[in-house]
C-alpha cells in the first residue's frame, strides 16, 4: 500500500492510472477503522483496479466540538488493517492540505440539500451535512473516482452524498455503491464511536438494533405512532436519551405517520448513552 499525504502527488498518480485505463474505487473514512470500513474496501477491490481509502477527521462536520476532540484516532492499526485488506492507496492529508490555512467557516460554502437537511441528522446536527459536503467535494476532486463506496449505516449521509454528486455534475461519471451495515454479534452496528463506550454503555448499546428489529417485526398497515412510542420506551428503559426515533419513506426520507402496507420504509434512530451518540437504521420491508 502506498501512502500519500499530499494531494498533488496523489492526483498525478491517479491521472496516470486512469489514462492507462484503470478504474478507481474510493472509500472516504475518518479512521478508527473496523470491519465495516474494511467491507467497503473489500467491495471496492472487487469492482475496481485501484482502491483508495482516505482517513481524515473532518473538523467542519462536527457540530459538537467535544465530539471532535474525543474522536478516536488509531492511525497505526488503521494502516496495518488497510495493508492487510489489500487497499492500494491510503490518502492521509492534514487539514491544511484539504482546506488551506483555516477550514471554511460555517455558511461560507453552501450546498443545496433541500429537505434532507431539515430532518433527522439534518435538524439534530445543524451544519453537519454542509461540513460533510465540504470535505467530500474536495476528496472527490482529488481522487476523481469511478465509484464511491458508502455504508448504509449512515443512511441519510448516503442520500446527501448522492445529492452532492448531482450538484457537482458528476452523476454520469461516478457511481455510488451503498454497502450493508456490518454489526457485532449482538446486533450493535459497528462504529468508531463504539470505542468510547464504557462497559455499562456497551452492554445496553445493542438495544438500539433490538428496537429497530422490534419495529420491523411489528410493522402493520395503519397508524405508526404507537409503534414509534413503544420503540422510544424500550430505548429509554435501557437508559438512552433519544434524539429521534422515526419511520420514513426509504427512498425520499419523508417521515411517515401511517403505513399503507406497500410503501418501502426505513426506521432510523439516534440516541445517547452517556455522552456517546449512536445512530442506526433498518429497512423495514426490504423485499418490496
Ligand atoms: P466514518 O469513518 O464513520 O466516517 O465511516 C466511513 C464510511 O464507512 C462511511 O461510508 C460509513 O457509512 C461506513 N461505515 C461506518 N460504519 C459502518 C458499518 N458498521 N458497516 C458498513 N459501513 C460502515
Going by pLDDT thresholds of 50, 70 and 90, the confidence category of residue 172 is confident
Does 210 score more than 80 pLDDT? yes
Q: Write out pLDDT tens, residues 37-48.
A: 999 999 999 999
Q: How close is the Cα of 220 to the center of ligand 1, in Å? A: 30
pLDDT at 243: 98
Mean pLDDT of 109-134: 98
DSSP H helical segments within 29-93, as ranges? 35-47, 65-69, 75-85
Does 59 score more than 60 pLDDT? yes
Helix pair angle (35-47, 75-85), 10° resolution: 30
- Contact assessment for residue 148 and residue 168, using Cβ atoms and an 8 Å cutoff: no
User: From CA 268, how far away is CA 165, in angstroms rounded?
Assistant: 24
Pocket test residue of 25, 27, 33, 37 for ligand 1, highest count of atoms within 8 A of CB:
37
pLDDT at 288: 57
pLDDT at 171: 81
Does 254 score more than 80 pLDDT? yes
Which residue in this structure is represented by grid cell 501512502? Answer: 3
Return the number of other C-beta atoms located less than 10 Å from residue 223's C-beta.
11
Question: Does residue 179 sit in helix, strand or coil?
Answer: strand
pLDDT at 112: 98
13, 34, 37, 110: the active-site residue: 37
Can you say whether the dihedral through the CA atoms of 140, 145, 147, 153 is positive or negative?
Answer: negative
Mean pLDDT of 182-192: 98
Which residue in this structure is represented by grid cell 419513506? Answer: 249
Pocket test residue of 154, 205, 209 for ligand 1, highest count of atoms within 8 A of CB:
154
Mean pLDDT score of the chain, rounded to an integer? 97
Amino acid at each position: 500500500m502506498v501512502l500519500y499525504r499530499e494531494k498533488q502527488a496523489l492526483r498525478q498518480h491517479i491521472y496516470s492510472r486512469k489514462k492507462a485505463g484503470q478504474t478507481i474505487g474510493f472509500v472516504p473514512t475518518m479512521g478508527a477503522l473496523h470491519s465495516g470500513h474494511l467491507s467497503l474496501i473489500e467491495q471496492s477491490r472487487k469492482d475496481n483496479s485501484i482502491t483508495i481509502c482516505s482517513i481524515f477527521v473532518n473538523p467542519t462536520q462536527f457540530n459538537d466540538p467535544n465530539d471532535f476532540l474525543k474522536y478516536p484516532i488509531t492511525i497505526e492499526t488503521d494502516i496495518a488493517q488497510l495493508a492487510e485488506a489489500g487497499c492500494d492507496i491510503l490518502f492521509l492529508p492534514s487539514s491544511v492540505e484539504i482546506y488551506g490555512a483555516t477550514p471554511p467557516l460555517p455558511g461560507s460554502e453552501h450546498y443545496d440539500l433541500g429537505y434532507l437537511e431539515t430532518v433527522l441528522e439534518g435538524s439534530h446536527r445543524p451544519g453537519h451535512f454542509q461540513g460533510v459536503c465540504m470535505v467530500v467535494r474536495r476528496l472527490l476532486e482529488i481522487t476523481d473516482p469511478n465509484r464511491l463506496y458508502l455504508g448504509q449505516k449512515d443512511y441519510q449521509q448516503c442520500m446527501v452524498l448522492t445529492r452532492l454528486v448531482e450538484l457537482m455534475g458528476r452523476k454520469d461519471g461516478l457511481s455510488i455503491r451503498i454497502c450493508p451495515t456490518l454489526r457485532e454479534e449482538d446486533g450493535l452496528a459497528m462504529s468508531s464511536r463504539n470505542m468510547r463506550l464504557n462497559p455499562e454503555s456497551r452492554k445496553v448499546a445493542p438495544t438500539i438494533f433490538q428496537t429497530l428489529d422490534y419495529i420491523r417485526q411489528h410493522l402493520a398497515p395503519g397508524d405508526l405512532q404507537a409503534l414509534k412510542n413503544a420503540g422510544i420506551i424500550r430505548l429509554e428503559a435501557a437508559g438512552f436519551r433519544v434524539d429521534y426515533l422515526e419511520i420514513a419513506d426509504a427512498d425520499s426520507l419523508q417521515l411517515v405517520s401511517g403505513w399503507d402496507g406497500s410503501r418501502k420504509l426505513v426506521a432510523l434512530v439516534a440516541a445517547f448513552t452517556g455522552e456517546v451518540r449512536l445512530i442506526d437504521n433498518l429497512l423495514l420491508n426490504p423485499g418490496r
